[in-house]
């Protein structure tokens, strides 16, 4: 091939390759052009072979043109490849973008259970009046739950609290009163304690009765404690919780561990005393049995009743939370239904 022909072929090849590169739509098409033009057996390699036949002066000139053609095609291939990569990146970014200004879908922080809210308020109130907060075990001895509270084995008062019995003289505590015994034995007189906790009874469940519920025990042992002291603390308690006037009534109540014993009822805050399922249509909710501590209980607690006396109360904490938040079915508090619990 003559020098002029070679130059012509080179130019045709160059323009054809550049055109092909611009028209290519895929990386595979680009690679095919690269192999065709720049590959070891490609068109430029063929021309390079032909150059050997040229006169030395022409060879140098055509050689330069060949290199130039090679560089031009290489650059065109590179920049077209970069275009493809950019397009691929844009497609991916469009598909995978995330709007960081959208509200988070992270789990909501939890909130305190309504019973816990009321429990904490009462704890703060009593701590401010010099009381200590104690806790006792949910699995108790029969002795602490009954005997030490002046309820011997054959006493009919045992039937007032239908008990879940365990093996070896143990039971699920039916009230928080056994913590009175533990508190007296541990700290001795004078004593001001409260003990919130979970208790268990084999109860038929209805809007105001659960088999598992919360009570809050209170006890004060000192010299010459009277019913007047008891009513003062109970009034302070109820005013602190309800932040409004509540109507209460005291009825005589029988519990072997207090003498005299009372039932403190509050007028139902859900129906205002008219009657509803929670107050069993009576207008009153039994909330707070209380009384002066029986001398036998003091003795079981290692305290001399000739020198000391005291009052005790056993608040129905779950029922108090119902009154406080206007909850008309106790089962809602145990159910773990987040739609209900998120309201507090």
80 binds ligand FA5 (CB under 6 A): no
Selection from 290, 301, 292 nearest residue 144 by Cα:
301
Tokens of 72: 């031009």
Residue range at the interface with ligand FA5 (CB under 6 A); choices 104-112, 127-135, 226-234, 312-320: 312-320
Burial class (CB in 10 A: 0-12, 13-18, 19+), 148: buried
CB of 221 to ligand FA5, least distance (A): 13
* 119 contacts ligand FA5 (rule: CB under 6 A): no
Is residue 316 a contact point for ligand FA5 (CB under 6 A)?
Answer: yes
End-to-end CA, the chain:
94
Q: Taking CB under 6 A as the rule, does residue 213 contact ligand FA5?
A: yes
* Cα 251 from Cα 248, distance rounded (Å): 10
Q: Is 329 in the site for ligand FA5 (CB under 6 A)?
A: no
Structure tokens at 87: 């397009």
Of 139-178, binders to ligand FA5 (CB under 6 A) are 161, 175, 177
What is the chain's alpha carbon radius of gyration, rounded to the nearest angstrom? 45
**Cβ at position 266, least distance to ligand FA5 in Å:** 10
Edge-to-edge strands, sheet with 191-200? 132-133, 191-200, 212-222, 309-316, 284-293, 258-267, 248-252
| Closest separation in Å from C-beta 95 to ligand FA5 | 57
Distance CA 56, CA 40 (A): 24
Rounded to whole angstroms, how far apart are CA atoms 32 and 39?
9
Q: Which of residues 240-299 bind ligand FA5 (CB under 6 A)?
A: 255, 257-258, 261, 286-287, 289-291
| Interaction of residue 203 with ligand FA5, rule CB under 6 A | yes
Which CB atom, from 10 or from 290, has the smaller least distance to ligand FA5?
290
Cβ of residue 249: shortest distance to ligand FA5, in angstroms? 13
Q: What's phi and psi for 226, nearest 5 deg?
A: -125, 175
Residues 244, 247, 251, 253, CA torsion sign: negative
Nearer to ligand FA5, 14 or 175 (CB): 175
Q: Applying CB under 6 A, which part among 90-98, 114-122, 271-279, 308-316 lies near ligand FA5?
A: 308-316
Number of residues binding to ligand FA5, judged by CB under 6 A: 25
| 196 touches 215 (CB < 8 A) | yes
| Closest residue to bound ligand FA5 by CB | 316
Site residues, ligand FA5 (CB under 6 A): 161, 175, 177, 201, 203, 209-210, 213, 215, 255, 257-258, 261, 286-287, 289-291, 312-314, 316, 318-319, 330
């Amino acid at each position: 091939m003559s020098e002029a022909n070679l130059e012509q072929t080179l130019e045709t090849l160059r323009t054809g390759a550049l055109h092909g590169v611009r028209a290519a739509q895929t990386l595979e098409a680009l690679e095919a052009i690269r192999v065709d033009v720049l590959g070891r057996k490609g068109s430029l390699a063929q021309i390079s072979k032909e150059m050997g036949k040229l006169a030395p002066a022409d060879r140098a000139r055509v050689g330069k043109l060949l290199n130039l053609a090679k560089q031009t095609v290489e650059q065109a291939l590179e920049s077209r490849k970069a275009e493809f990569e950019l397009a691929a990146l844009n497609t991916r970014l469009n598909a995978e973008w995330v709007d960081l200004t959208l509200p988070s879908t992270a789990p909501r922080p939890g909130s305190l259970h309504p019973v816990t809210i009321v429990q904490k308020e009462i704890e703060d109130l009593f701590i401010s009046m010099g009381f200590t907060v104690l806790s006792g075990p949910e699995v108790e001895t029969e002795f602490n739950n009954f005997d030490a509270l002046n309820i011997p084995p054959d006493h009919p008062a045992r039937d007032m609290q239908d008990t879940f019995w365990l093996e070896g003289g143990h039971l699920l505590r039916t009230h928080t009163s056994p913590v009175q015994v533990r508190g007296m034995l541990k700290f001795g007189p004078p004593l001001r304690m409260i003990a919130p906790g979970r208790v268990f009874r084999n109860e038929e469940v209805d809007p105001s009765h659960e088999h598992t519920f919360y009570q809050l025990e209170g006890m004060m042992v000192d010299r010459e404690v009277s019913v007047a002291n008891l009513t003062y603390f109970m009034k302070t308690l109820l005013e602190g919780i309800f932040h409004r006037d509540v109507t209460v009534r005291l009825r005589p109540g029988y519990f072997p561990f207090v003498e005299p014993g009372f039932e403190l009822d509050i007028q139902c805050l859900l129906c205002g005393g008219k009657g509803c399922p929670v107050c069993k249509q009576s207008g009153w909710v039994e909330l707070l049995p209380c009384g002066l501590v029986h001398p036998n209980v003091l003795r079981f607690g290692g305290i001399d009743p000739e020198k000391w006396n005291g009052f005790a109360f056993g608040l129905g904490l779950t029922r108090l939370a119902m009154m406080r938040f206007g909850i008309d079915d106790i089962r809602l508090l145990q159910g773990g239904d987040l739609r209900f619990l998120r309201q507090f």
